[in-house]
Structures are given as C-alpha cells and as structure tokens.
C-alpha cells in the first residue's frame, strides 16, 4: 500500500498556497476514485515496462492504456539513453519539510543535470512543468539523494500527459531550486500554526477534502456571487451583462462549482448513511439498459432472431492502434493517412499558456469611407 506524507509532493499545490488546509483535512476520509485507480494502473504498467521491457506493453490487455503509456516509456527511454535511470524512486526532502517525501516516476542522473519525469495519465486538467511544485519537490528530493555523485548544475522537469498529447519541459538551476526550497520551508512551518490561514483558490480547492465545510471558500463564493449580482431573486439575463460583469462571473465559476459539488457530496453521504437531510432525499438515478453477463446466450438468441443484423459493421482501428500493430519501423507508411483535426474552441483565462485562436481586431485593416 502506498504511503502518503502529510506535506507530500502530490498535494504541494494545496499546502503551499493554503497552509490552513492541512489541519482542516485532518481526520477526513481520503476516498479513491475510478480516475485515481486508473492512474495507479497506468503508473504500475509504466514501471513494469521500464523494468521488464516492451513485452510488458505488448502483452497488456488494456490496449488503449498500453498505447498511451508507450508514449511515456518511449520518452523516458530516449531521455535516459547513456545515463542512469531510477524508476519509482522514493525521494525525501525532509531537510526543508519535516516528514516530507514523495515518489518520483522517473529520475535520470546525467553528468550535470538531474532530470525528473512525471507521468500524468489524467486528461481533466492540463499540467505544465514550469514551476510545478510537485515535480520541483521531486527534484529537490533527487538532488538531496544524489548530490554526492556529481556537481549538478540544474534540474530538468518533464510532465508527460499522453492522453492530452502534451509533453512539457522546464529547467531550473540548482541555486534557484535551493532558494525556492527555503521559501517552501517557511510555508511548511506555517501549516503547523493552529491559526494558519485558509486561502481558497481554484487549484488548491479542486481536490481539497475540507472544501464543503470551508468558511473561507463559502465567503469567497458568496462575495463573488454578490459582486456580480445584487439581487439573486431577479438574476439578469446573460445578454444584458457588461463584459466586466461576465468576466467576474466566469472567474468565480470554478470555485463556486467546486464548493457546491462538495456540499452535494456531503449531503449524499449523510443520506446514504441514514441521516436526515432536510429538503432532500436519495432516488435512483438514470441508468442505461445492458445485456446480461452471459454474452454467449445473448449472441445466440439475437443471431437466431436477427441473423447478421444482430452485429454492427466492423470499424477501423485507431491510428494509435494501427501504429502499434505495424511497429515503429513500419508506422511511417501510414503517416500520410493520419490527420489531427482542430479541437473545438474552448474558453480559457488570459494567463493560459495555450495560444489564442480566432480573429482579433488586429487581424483586420481599417478601411476608410
């Protein structure tokens, strides 16, 4: 079973920003989710592939996962060529954070560079390497562990997020990393203060287990709503709002949604355990019908009744699956048959690292009458 530090690297984005969240989460259940379990499976497969070799991926039953993990494995193998590679290494940064440790997915020990590579199997949130606190703590732990081996000048961080076709790289000098570590030490000490402040925000609140009961988050959500709408009983129509009013509403949306979702989960948990929750009850949700587990019986009955109409037409395998079957040497022969369509436009904040799309006023020349 994996052990997690209270001030772990994986939740550093929370305790570094909101020191009061550490005490707030104490005693609250740390439940898993299908997404977390899927991520664990992908990491286990990646570790096995890097230890055993390609056969681990070729034989894996979940072909989609194997194809995505292959991207990470290929990157790690290329990055570690000619250098020492350490996989799933427990690193300790306790010199700066009492009891602080975490598990780095891959560490490449070069001549003057430590390279920390982190696999992110999720696709809900795009993760970048630049100033990523989790990976920086891994880098700090790796430096603490291996600094006696060489005079390391820098730490390179890479985030591989294959399901988003996203690989992000960033470097920091060792002196800059150590200066950052002193700031981390101060923030870690702040979490031990019984009056440590609660500072809500989109990133630190996203997976915080205490957000449903967080007074600071409640106050922020209420302030955000009332700042945009003075009278909640007579909400204005969207097309009557000014751009500034719409911006404020959009800025508040993630936090308000996270807070309301946490409250809903808390209410559901109370009702599930038999408690009374005024004004609400549990009901059966919508579910789609499915065939019984005896698929042979289903197939036989439908074939007798419908013959070939019981089956859908065969469909082509995906480009990734085709490349996997062909192998790297032959994959190039289908390159001209593959295209990557542009994704649907999505709204993002101005500080998002992705380039803006669509026309702006600068794209048009002024035509005089």
Q: Which stretch of DSSP H or E encloses residue 156?
A: strand 154-161
Q: Answer for the pair 35, 124: CB distance below 8 angstroms, yes or no.
A: yes
List the chain pLDDT tens, one digit each, 369 residues: 344 568 989 889 899 989 989 888 888 877 778 888 999 999 999 999 999 999 999 999 999 999 999 999 999 999 999 999 999 999 999 999 999 999 999 999 999 999 999 999 998 888 999 999 999 999 999 999 999 999 999 999 999 999 998 999 999 999 999 999 999 999 999 999 988 888 887 778 877 888 888 888 878 777 766 655 555 566 667 777 788 878 877 877 777 777 788 788 888 888 888 888 888 888 888 888 888 888 899 999 999 998 888 888 888 888 877 887 787 778 888 888 888 887 778 777 777 777 887 655 454 444 454
Distances (CA, A) of 272 to 65, 106, 282, 287: 34, 41, 8, 19
Q: Give me the torsion for CA of 39, 36, 170, 145, rounded to 10°.
A: -90
Alpha-carbon span 44 to 295, nearest angstrom: 30
CATH number for the domain whose boundaries are 12-190: 3.90.320
Residue boundaries of the structural domains of the chain: 12-190, 202-272, 295-337
The tokens for 324 are: 């996997």
Does the predicted TM-score (pTM) go above 0.95?
no
Q: What is the pLDDT of residue 224?
A: 66
According to DSSP, residue 113 is labeled E
């Amino acid at each position: 079973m994996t052990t997690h530090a209270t001030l772990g690297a994986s939740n550093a984005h929370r305790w570094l920003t909101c020191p009061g969240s550490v005490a707030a989460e104490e005693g609250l259940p740390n439940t898993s989710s299908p997404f977390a379990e899927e991520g664990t499976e992908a990491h286990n497969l990646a570790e096995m592939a890097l230890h055993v070799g390609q056969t681990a991926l070729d034989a894996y039953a979940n072909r989609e996962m194997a194809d995505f993990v292959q991207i990470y494995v290929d990157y790690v193998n290329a990055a570690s060529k000619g250098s020492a590679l350490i996989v799933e290494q427990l690193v300790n940064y306790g010199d700066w954070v009492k009891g602080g440790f975490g598990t780095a997915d891959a560490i490449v020990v070069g001549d003057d560079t430590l390279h920390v590579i982190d696999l992110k199997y999720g696709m809900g949130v795009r993760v970048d390497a630049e100033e990523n606190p989790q990976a920086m703590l891994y880098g700090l732990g790796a430096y603490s562990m291996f600094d006696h081996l060489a005079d390391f000048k820098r730490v390179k961080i890479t985030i591989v997020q294959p399901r988003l076709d996203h690989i992000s790289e960033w470097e920091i000098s060792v002196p800059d990393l150590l200066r950052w570590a002193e700031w981390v030490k101060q923030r870690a000490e702040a979490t031990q203060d019984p009056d440590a402040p609660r500072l809500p925000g989109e990133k630190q609140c996203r997976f915080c287990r205490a957000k449903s009961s967080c007074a600071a988050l409640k106050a922020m959500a209420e302030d955000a709503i009332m700042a945009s709408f003075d009278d909640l009983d007579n909400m204005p129509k969207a097309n009557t709002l000014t751009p500034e009013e719409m911006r404020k509403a959009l800025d508040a949306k993630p936090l308000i949604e996270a807070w309301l979702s946490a409250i809903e989960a808390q209410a559901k948990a109370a009702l599930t355990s038999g408690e009374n929750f005024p004004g609400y009850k549990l009901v059966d949700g919508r579910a789609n019908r499915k065939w019984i587990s005896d698929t042979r019986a289903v197939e036989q009955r439908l074939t007798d009744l419908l013959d070939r109409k019981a089956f859908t037409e065969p469909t082509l395998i995906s480009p990734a699956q085709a490349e996997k079957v062909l192998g790297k040497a032959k994959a190039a022969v289908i390159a001209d048959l593959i295209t990557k369509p542009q994704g649907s436009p999505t709204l993002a904040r101005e500080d998002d690292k992705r380039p803006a799309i669509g026309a702006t006023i600068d794209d048009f020349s002024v035509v005089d009458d």
